[in-house]
Amino acid sequence: MYTDKTLKCKDCGADFVFTAGEQEFYAEKGFVNEPQRCKACRDAKKNAGKGERKFYDATCAMCGGVARVPFEPKEDRPVYCSECFAKQRGE
């Protein structure tokens, strides 16, 4: 029913393929407009509003190692490194 279409990105001007599978997905979701940007430009636009994440160093409450976390640690809550956090979740 659907066939691949070649479209032109409105941001960079590159040609990109709007596949039959993507067209079917759009139809299932009720989208009426075709995409106007290639995947690279869509991703760039999506990530443009996001700033750099700030990480904080903390001491792991389980092993005593360094834990880099994306939130400011508080004294009243334990912080775990990635390995210890995974162990905690597995229990």
pLDDT at 4: 97
DSSP category for residue 19: -
Per-residue confidence in pLDDT tens, the chain, 91 aa? 899 999 999 999 999 999 999 999 999 999 999 999 999 999 999 888 777 788 999 999 999 999 999 999 988 999 999 999 998 887 6
The answer to whether residues 40 and 60 belong to one domain is no
The answer to whether residues 41 and 63 belong to one domain is no
The answer to whether residues 9 and 37 belong to one domain is yes
CB 57 within 8 A of CB 67: yes
Residue 45, amino acid: K
Dist. CA 61–CA 66, nearest whole Å: 10
Residue span of the structural domain in which 82 resides: 56-90
The answer to whether residues 36 and 71 belong to one domain is no
pLDDT at 1: 83
In 50-76, which positions are buried (b, 16+ CB within 10 angstroms) versus exposed (e)?
eeeeeeeebebebeeeebebeeeeeee
The answer to whether residues 43 and 22 belong to one domain is yes
Dist. CA 8–CA 63, nearest whole Å: 53
Report the number of distinct structural domains present in the chain: 2
